[in-house]
Amino acid sequence: MEEQLEYSEKVMDHFRNPRNVGQVKDADGIGRVGNPVCGDLMEIQIKVENNILKDVKFKTFGCGSAIATSSMITEMAIGKTLEEALKITRGEVAEELGGLPPIKMHCSNLAADALHAAIKDYMAHKEEKEKIEAQKYDFDVIIVGGGPGGLTTGILCAYRGLKTAIFEASNWGGILSWLCPNKMIENFPGLCEKSTCSDLVNSWVNEAKKLKVELKKERVNEITPDKKIIAESGEYKGKIIVLATGSSPASGGIKGEEKFSKRGVYYYVRNPGNFTGKRVIVVGSGNSAVDAALSIADTADLITIACKDEELRSVPNKIERLKAIDRVKVLYNTEVLEISGTDNVEKVLMKDLKEDENIQQVVDSVVLAVGLTPNTEIFKNLGLEMDERGYLKTDKTQKTNIDGIYAVGDIASDLQLVVVAVSNGATVAHNAYIELKKPYWR
Ligand SMILES: Cc1cc2nc3c(=O)[nH]c(=O)nc-3n(C[C@H](O)[C@H](O)[C@H](O)COP(=O)(O)OP(=O)(O)OC[C@H]3O[C@@H](n4cnc5c(N)ncnc54)[C@H](O)[C@@H]3O)c2cc1C
């Protein structure tokens, strides 16, 4: 075979118009090689993203073949995975260039060596960089709110090996442990009628502790866009923040409500004993109003539900149970206008919306079960997208519009169910793991 003595057209093209000459900004790896015999010096710099060579540039001092091989390898390497790039050989570079004179094969064809050196340099520093990076953060995942959404997200993140903290301002277990700790769970598959709200919350707290979730009983006062939370004991930085602040009982906006708020006006029913022998008006149309009436059925003397709608919006078996209790009366199409009294609640003024008539009723207590309002105060200034009712908007991974900030449970869903909060937690834990650990299968 005739020996190649001249440069191919492709070599000349890369020599005259070298591609990717220069310096990669904040290079992740640098490889330098040289040939002491002919004096060629080659430097290749790389930028890596998700194991892929996003940029490759070179600076070469040498002959036409040294320039052309450097230029060619940058084109061959960009877009390849590190493993693929490590497999590029000197021979393949020469082949891509349409061949090189044999004398140049050994002295000037060093580009593959320089690229491999740059990748090895990157790999050597990667682990070190990851360690330094990890030290900048207090936790992988910080969860704000320790209700069903926050606790179960924490458990599932810790289960995947993520360093996790949950901050809770008040009661572990959220609104359920605050308002109805002794209520039997009726709609959590597998636990129906087997577990009270407290039992469920206690088992979550124990699981979280076992998995070494850091449980911090303190309020978060602010969250910054760089994923720092400002709590009572100081500032903490997380790679991911999960908002699980839930909701609080909504105000009925009724005249006199505030005045009698600790003197006969209640938000939901925490202690049925408070209603023993009392005449009670329950305000609301949904599940919570029905729950409230059922929970005081054994203690109150007379229970009237003032329901603004044509029907109660609750599950059929609860409505059946309610109908079977003589002391419960439902006033449909009825709005409560005013709560009045001297020291304590004595009367309510209601309006029959169909008949357009006002009705006065003597009562001892008013229970407002008119819904829940999302707790959004601490991130009002963060620029998170919310719908018109204040619920956070998320994508199907539960991510908000701000990178690294997720939301679970009642703050992100008007379904207001424990089972939904728990499933949101599973979604977040899966996606947080992918985002932070970058497993090979993603
Ligand atoms: C009376 C009633 C009965 C219900 N019954 C059922 C039922 O039978 N079945 C069912 O599936 N669902 C029921 N629900 C709905 C259920 O309670 C909610 O869907 C569920 O609690 C949502 O969980 P969460 O974690 O999103 O929010 P929450 O339970 O509201 O918990 C949020 C937590 O975040 C904390 N928090 C808020 N702000 C901060 C802050 N700045 N810093 C630190 N912590 C903060 C709060 O203190 C709270 O503990 C009921 C609700 C009510 C009101």
**278-326 tens-digit pLDDT:** 999 999 999 889 999 999 999 999 999 999 999 999 999 999 999 999 9
Residue type, 130: E
* Residue 118 near residue 73 (C-beta atoms within 8 A): no
**Rounded-to-integer distance, Cα 278 and Cα 280, Å:** 6
Q: Nearest CA to 93 among 204, 180, 14?
A: 14
Residue located nearest, by CA, to atom 48 of ligand 1: 174
139-249+373-437 matches 265-370 in fold: yes
Q: Which atom of ligand 1 is nearest to the CA of 372?
A: 53
Q: Nearest CA to 284 among 254, 256, 260, 239?
A: 254
| Model pLDDT, residue 4 | 55
* Assigned token pair, 102: 């044999």
Average pLDDT of span 34-52? 89
Entry field: residues in the chain: 442
179 vs 69, residue with greater confidence: 69
Q: Nearest CA to 72 among 22, 10, 140, 133?
A: 10
DSSP, res 386: B
Element (H, E) at 120: helix 111-135
What is the distance in A from the centroid of ligand 1 to the CA of 399? 20
Indicate the pLDDT class of residue 108, thresholds 50, 70 and 90: low
85 vs 106, residue with greater confidence: 85
Q: Nearest CA to 412 among 427, 424, 402?
A: 424
Those residues whose C-beta lies under 8 Å from the C-beta of residue 342, and which sit 6 or more positions away, are: none
Residue of 197, 232, 245, 282 with the most ligand 1 atoms within 8 Å of its CB, for mutation? 245
**Rounded-to-integer distance, Cα 188 and Cα 423, Å:** 11
Q: Is the CB of 371 under 6 A from ligand 1?
A: no
| Model pLDDT, residue 409 | 97
Indicate the pLDDT class of residue 35, thresholds 50, 70 and 90: confident
Q: Is the CB of 290 under 6 A from ligand 1?
A: no
Helix segments in 283-363, DSSP class H:
287-295, 316-323
Q: Which atom of ligand 1 is nearest to the CA of 178?
A: 49
What is the distance in A from the centroid of ligand 1 to the CA of 176? 6
What is the distance in A from the centroid of ligand 1 to the CA of 420? 11
Angle CA(425)–CA(429)–CA(432) in degrees, nearest 5?
A: 130
What is the distance in A from the centroid of ligand 1 to the CA of 206? 18
What is the distance in A from the centroid of ligand 1 to the CA of 161? 26
**Rounded-to-integer distance, Cα 257 and Cα 264, Å:** 9
Least confident range from 4-8, 109-113, 231-235, 330-334: namely 4-8
Which residues sit opposite 348 in a β-bridge?
A: 339, 361
* Residue 306 near residue 331 (C-beta atoms within 8 A): yes
CA 218 to chain centre: 20
Residue located nearest, by CA, to atom 30 of ligand 1: 246
Q: Is the CB of 291 under 6 A from ligand 1?
A: yes
- Is position 107 annotated as part of the catalytic site? yes
Pick among 3.50.50.60, 3.40.50.1820, 3.20.20.140, 3.40.640.10: CATH of 265-370:
3.50.50.60
Residue in 107, 157, 197, 307 annotated catalytic:
107
Residue located nearest, by CA, to atom 49 of ligand 1: 174
Q: Which atom of ligand 1 is nearest to the CA of 409?
A: 26
| Model pLDDT, residue 381 | 84
**Rounded-to-integer distance, Cα 257 and Cα 247, Å:** 20
Q: Report the predicted TM-score, pTM, of the whole model to 2 decimal places.
A: 0.72
Those residues whose C-beta lies under 8 Å from the C-beta of residue 130, and which sit 6 or more positions away, are: none
Residue of 142, 172, 175, 179 with the most ligand 1 atoms within 8 Å of its CB, for mutation? 175
* Assigned token pair, 226: 């760089």
Those residues whose C-beta lies under 8 Å from the C-beta of residue 354, and which sit 6 or more positions away, are: 333
**Rounded-to-integer distance, Cα 336 and Cα 347, Å:** 11
Those residues whose C-beta lies under 8 Å from the C-beta of residue 128, and which sit 6 or more positions away, are: none
* Residue 398 near residue 369 (C-beta atoms within 8 A): no
* Assigned token pair, 1: 């075979």
Distances (CA, A) of 294 to 183, 364, 379: 11, 18, 36
Helix, strand counts (H, E) of the chain? 12, 20
* Residue range 139-249+373-437, CATH number: 3.50.50.60
Residue located nearest, by CA, to atom 20 of ligand 1: 418
Q: 10 Å Cβ neighbour count for 277? A: 9
| Model pLDDT, residue 410 | 96
Q: Which atom of ligand 1 is nearest to the CA of 170?
A: 47
**Rounded-to-integer distance, Cα 263 and Cα 283, Å:** 16
Q: Is the CB of 268 under 6 A from ligand 1?
A: yes
**Rounded-to-integer distance, Cα 433 and Cα 161, Å:** 8
Q: Is the CB of 375 under 6 A from ligand 1?
A: yes
Q: Is the CB of 410 under 6 A from ligand 1?
A: yes
3 has pLDDT over 80 = no
Measured torsion, CA atoms of residues 94, 99, 101, 103, in degrees rounded to the nearest 10: 30
* Residue 111 near residue 18 (C-beta atoms within 8 A): no
Question: What residue segments make up the domains of the chain, in order of their start?
Answer: 3-132, 139-249+373-437, 265-370
**Rounded-to-integer distance, Cα 183 and Cα 203, Å:** 16
What is the distance in A from the centroid of ligand 1 to the CA of 385? 21
CATH class of 3-132: alpha beta
**Rounded-to-integer distance, Cα 53 and Cα 46, Å:** 7
**Rounded-to-integer distance, Cα 243 and Cα 216, Å:** 15
Per-residue pLDDT tens digits for 129-155:
777 777 788 999 999 999 999 999 999
What is the distance in A from the centroid of ligand 1 to the CA of 247? 6
